[in-house]
Each structure stands twice: as C-alpha cells, then as structure tokens.
C-alpha cells in the first residue's frame, strides 16, 4: 500500500515538472469542464420536457437521446484531451507549445475523435444498460469490464495525436502497446489517480471542517462563502489531475514507442507505473 502511494507521488511530481513549464496546459481541462456542463444543460431540456426517463424504462427515443448525450460528452472530453496531449507532446519533444497549438492539433483530428467518441459512447451505453439489469455480482463484473476498457484505451488519445490512424486502429494499438511493454495487469491502476484520490479526500475533509467552523463563528453567510471557495479548491484539484494525467499519457506513449523516457521522466518512474503480474 505504502509502495503504491510512494510511486504515485513520484509520478505526480514528475508530471508536475512538465506542467510547471507550461501552466497553459491547465486551460484544456478547464474549458473541457465548462463545455461538458454546457452539453449536459442542453440535453436537460428534451429529457425533462419529453419525460423520456420517467417510470424507469427507456424507450427508443430515450435510447437515441442517451446515445447522443454520451456521444457529445465524449467528443468534448476527447477533443480537449487531444489538445492537451498534443501540446504535452510538443513540450516533451523540446518545444514550447501554446493553447493554439493544442487546439490546432485537436481540430486536425476531429474526424477520428468523433469516431472514437462514437465507440466510447456505444461501450458506455452498453455497460450502463447491463449494470442496470445486473444483480450485485453482475454489477461487479460490469465494473471490472469498465476498468478493463479504461486500461485498454489508456493510450488511444496519444496514438491519435502521433499517428494518422482511425479510431479502431488506435484502440488496437493502445492495447498492443500496453501488452507488449508492461503486461496485461496494471498495478494499483494509474498512480496519479491514487494520489489525487487521497488528495481530494483530504481537501474535502478540510473544506467540511472549515465550513462547519465558519458556521459557528460567522453564521450561514460566512459558511456559504467558505463552501464556495472550498468547491473551487476541489475543482482545481480535479483540473490539476486531468492535466497531469494527460501529460503522463503522452510521456507513457513516447516511452512505449521509443523505449526511452522523455525529458522530465526517469525510466524507472514510467516502468514502475505498470508492472506485469
């Protein structure tokens, strides 16, 4: 357990070294978050207006709207993640990327991003449907399948950025890179996720404590103000995790293809993130 936490923190520090060189990379997950909220708000109108999901049953129209929602959400997420990874790759190659560089790369990949979003939306909808119909054990199985899918597609976006391939080819190459380089089993999931899970929990606990203290000292208004500031702090942690994860995936792809750790990453750090069984 402590080894995993130590390894996770090492990965965070290595990724942070790259992020410190280009703080602009934080803008991509911020824009992505606002865009996904906008998409969700847009879909609330037909969902509630037409009462598509009332009664616990999803009809044909509800299934279509659900798929379109997944498709739009995934497209937005993958678009800005592609921009982030593209800019990170420029930095790892010794360049000095800008936000415009990342967006330019993402725009040049719109077709394959949409194709990959369609694949991810289909998988997500199927897993959601299976989870709703499965029992307790079935939910666990479906959850494990979801984890396997996440791991299998971990390097899809870097593949799409670096190579001129379609979405299916990118998924296949992502699986092959993981199998060829680190085996089929990932130790402790991704270290960054573990580190930020702990960090988020600590921030949440601190915010709750401060809100309660503010309520006793200054009343409801101060508690609300502290709560808003705390919510922004939690959101910043999420943005930081998204940026570091994108940088890490770019570096991991470079290492998988070239066998060399990019600048700012020790070879041992990348090898220890994934260990064969």
**What is the predicted pLDDT for the residue at 28?**
93
**What is the predicted pLDDT for the residue at 119?**
92
Whether the predicted pLDDT of 17 surpasses 70: yes
End-to-end alpha-carbon separation of the chain, Å?
16
Q: How many domains does the chain have?
A: 1
Whether the predicted pLDDT of 100 surpasses 70: yes
Q: Which residues contact 263 (CB under 8 A, 6 or more apart)?
A: 92, 94
Tokens of 200: 């988020």
**What is the predicted pLDDT for the residue at 116?**
93
Buried b (16+ CB within 10 A) or exposed e, 61-93: ebeebbeebbbbbbbbbbbbbbbbbbbbbbbbe
**What is the predicted pLDDT for the residue at 5?**
55
pLDDT class of 266 with cuts at 50, 70, 90: low
Q: Which domain holds residue 80?
A: 2-273
Whether the predicted pLDDT of 51 surpasses 70: no
Q: Of 11-15, 146-150, 185-189, 241-245, give the range with the top mean pLDDT.
A: 241-245
**What is the predicted pLDDT for the residue at 184?**
34
Indicate whether this model's pTM tops 0.85.
Answer: no
CA distance 174 to 24: 27
Higher-scoring residue by pLDDT: 140, 59:
140
Measured CA to CA in angstroms, residue 35 lies from 31, 41, 72, 199, 217 at distances of 6, 10, 10, 25, 37
User: In 3D, which of 79, 255, 92, 75 has the Cα closest to residue 177?
Assistant: 255
Cα four-point dihedral sign 9, 15, 20, 24:
negative
CA distance 217 to 240: 32
**What is the predicted pLDDT for the residue at 24?**
87
Whether the predicted pLDDT of 45 surpasses 50: yes
């Amino acid at each position: 357990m402590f080894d995993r936490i130590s390894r996770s923190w090492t990965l965070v520090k290595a990724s942070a070294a790259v992020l410190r060189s280009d703080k602009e990379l934080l803008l991509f997950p911020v824009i992505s978050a606002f865009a996904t909220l906008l998409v969700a708000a847009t879909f609330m109108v037909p969902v509630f207006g037409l009462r598509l999901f009332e009664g616990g049953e999803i009809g044909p129209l509800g299934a279509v709207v659900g798929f379109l929602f997944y498709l739009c959400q995934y497209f937005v997420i993958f678009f800005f993640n592609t921009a982030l990874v593209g800019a990170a790759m420029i930095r790892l190659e010794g360049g000095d990327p800008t936000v415009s560089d990342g967006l330019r790369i993402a725009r040049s990949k719109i077709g394959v991003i949409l194709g990959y979003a369609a694949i991810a939306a289909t998988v997500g909808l199927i897993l959601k449907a299976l989870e709703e119909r499965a029992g307790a054990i079935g939910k666990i199985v479906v959850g494990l399948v979801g984890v396997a899918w996440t791991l299998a597609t971990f390097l899809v976006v870097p593949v799409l950025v670096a190579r001129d391939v379609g979405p299916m080819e990118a998924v296949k190459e992502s699986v092959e890179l993981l199998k060829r380089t680190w085996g089929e089993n990932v130790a402790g999931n991704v270290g960054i996720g573990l580190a930020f899970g702990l960090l988020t929990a600590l921030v949440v606990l601190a915010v709750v404590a401060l809100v309660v203290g503010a309520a006793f000292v200054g009343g409801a208004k101060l508690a609300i103000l502290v709560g808003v500031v705390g919510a922004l702090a939690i959101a910043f942690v999420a943005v930081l995790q998204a940026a570091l994860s994108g940088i890490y995936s770019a570096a991991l792809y470079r290492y998988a293809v070239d066998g060399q750790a990019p600048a700012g990453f020790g070879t041992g750090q990348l090898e220890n993130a994934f260990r064969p069984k």
